[in-house]
Each structure stands twice: as structure tokens, then as C-alpha cells.
Amino acid sequence: MSGSSEELVKAGFEVVAKSIEPSLMEYTSVSRCQAKIQTYLGQYISTFTTELPGAFARNTMISPLKESIVDMLVLFNSEHSERFLPAELLSKLHVTLRAEYPGTTFDESTESVYVPVESFTFRVQPGFITEEEHYLVPAPGWDEWVEYDSIGYKRLFSRMNARHEGKLLNLVRMMKTWNRLSGNTFDGYFLELLVINVLANHKIQTYQAAISHLFRAILADVALKQHDPANQSLNVEGLHNLEEVVNAMILVKNSYLVSKRAIELEQEGEMKSALTSWAQLFPAMLPGKI
């Protein structure tokens, strides 16, 4: 077996890693839309700023970014936090943004205003900046503010990714891509937390081995809520009812079996067959020839 043949699957996943990394043009498009929203709100609100604290800040979004949901905070000074409750500010943001962006909606379950701008949807929440560099954001389920350290989680993720020599970021993106190609069964943030929790103390040898390990490891956890590293008292729920849990478990189990067989084929030297098996999980993503 030639050396080039041995590297076929590895090279295929390197191609996937590069293809799902958002381009500078995509990042610029999101930032331009953020600026549009901020400029518009500036006509009605003084002394505020906006931040994109979620997957955009951690670089865990996946290309193509078109039709992606981007988290945005409209932030005020913390001394005003006792004057306003989340519901009041959410209502004001909803009414104000809907006047400029007619497709704007309010979702009570996520305490967020969803704003379509160009090819993206911004999930907008009000918040406050504290002296500790934390944010105060709407507390899930009740009309109060709660501390949220998304900056701290971003730093934690960066340290973990550095320990894994940059491979953790690529694996988070790969699993999010698998999720998108499988019908977006999981909430993206929930899936990201599953990945980092499983791989925290796991040595990443190859992308394909790590993905198979992830499928096996998360099967028992898909029905469980994950603690939010930005505030350990908050839970991140990835699935919302029994039907979603059952479908997710079936998807993960079937994906594990496919990945397990692909690993076996690779170990047997059947690299092209292994690549074909992986293509079941990443259709149109893996090249037929390297």
C-alpha cells in the first residue's frame, strides 16, 4: 500500500476542515450587518454598544454562514440594570427593530428578538456590561438579569483548543457540519458543549478517530442538559421533547456504526472504501480523489 493511499482519509478530513472554516468575506459580512443594526438603533438609543458573544466570537460557526443565526447583545451600562427588567427592554427592541426589519419576531422561550438582515438572522438580547467584564443577560424563565461570562468561556475554549493543537476547533466545526447535514437535530451550542466535554481529556489522534469516539461517547448524554460554562447555574437544553430525544439517539447510534465501519476499513487498508463510508455522514464534503 502506497504512502499516498495511507494518507487518503486523513487528507480528506483536512479538506473538510478547510472548507467549513468561514472566510474573511463571510466574517466581514456578519460584522457589516452588526454595524447596520447598531447604526439604526443609534437613532433611538444613546450610550450603548453591541457585541457578538456566541459562536461568532469563538470562531465555531461553520461555512457557509448564509442563513446562520448569530447571537447579538445590545449592551448598556450596568448602573441602569435596576431600572429596567428584561421584558421591558425586549419589547422595546422588538418594536424598534421590526419597524426597520419587517420579518423581526420575538420568541418568548429564548427571550430573544430574531432579526433577519441580509442572509443572516441575528438573535438579539438586551444586556449590561459589568465592571468584572461579565454581562447581565435575561435569565431563562423569569424576568430578571443573570451574570453571563461568555468572555471567560471564550478564553477557556481558546486554552483547550491550544492544548489540542487547534484540532478541537476543527472538530467542533465538523460535528456542527454533520448536524447541519443531518437536519439540524441538535442546538449548535449544546452540541459544542458535548464535544468539548468529551474531548477535554481525550488525546486527538486523527479527526476520524475522534469523531467516532464522540458518537460513541455522546450517545448516553444527548438527553441530558449541559451546564453552561458562562454560568454554571444555567443549563443548555439541546432537545425539547421525547420524540426529539429518540430521533437524536437513533441518529447518533447510526452515525457511530457508520464511523466504526469506516475506521475498520481504514485499518484494513481499504482507504477508498473508508472514505466512501465517511461520505454517508458528510455527503458532498469529502473528495473522491486527493
Q: With helix as H, strand as E and coil as C, how does 227-268 read?
A: EECCEEEEEECCCCCHHHHHHHHHHHHHHHHHHHHHHHHHHC
Q: Say whether pLDDT at 290 is over 60.
A: no
Q: Which residue has the higher pLDDT, 287 or 122?
A: 122
The mean pLDDT value of the chain amounts to 93
**DSSP conformation letters of 97-165:** HHHHSTT-EEETTTTEEEEEETTEEEEEEEEEE-TTS-EEEEPTTSSSEEEE-HHHHHHHHHHHHHHTT
pLDDT, position 275? 94
Burial 127-140 (b: 16+ CB within 10 A, else e): bbbbeeebbbbbbe
Supply the pTM of this predicted model: 0.93
Output the pLDDT for position 81: 72
Read off the pLDDT band of 224 (50, 70, 90): confident
pLDDT tens-place string over residues 65-121: 999 999 999 999 877 677 899 999 999 999 999 999 999 999 998 899 999 999 999
CA distance 178 to 63: 12
In this structure, the strands spanning 105-107 and 69-77 are unpaired
Q: What was the pLDDT predicted at 6?
A: 60
Q: Is 74 helix (H, G, I), strand (E, B) or coil?
A: strand
Residue 71: CB partners within 8 Å, gap ≥ 6?
52, 53, 54, 55, 56, 122, 123, 125
Name the percent of the chain lying above pLDDT 90. 83
Neighbours of 99 (CB within 10 A): 11
Where are the CATH 1.10.1410 domain residues in the chain?
A: 3-20+153-278
pLDDT of residue 1: 44
Q: What is the rounded distance in angstroms from the CA atom of residue 96 to the CA atom of residue 149? A: 27
Q: Which CATH class is domain 3-20+153-278?
A: mainly alpha
- What pLDDT is recorded for position 205? 93
Among 3.40.50.720, 3.40.50.10860, 3.30.460.90, 3.40.50.620, name the CATH number for the domain at 24-149. 3.30.460.90
Tell whether the model's pLDDT for residue 198 goes beyond 60.
yes
| pLDDT (0 to 100) of residue 220 | 86
* 133 pLDDT higher than 80: no
Please give the Cα distance from 48 to 208 (Å, whole number). 45
Question: Where, residue-wise, is CATH 3.30.460.90 in the chain?
Answer: 24-149
Angstrom distance (rounded) from CA 65 to CA 21: 10
pLDDT digits (tens, 9 = 90+) for 1-56: 444 556 889 999 999 999 999 999 999 999 999 999 999 999 999 889 999 999 99
Run of H or E including 222:
none
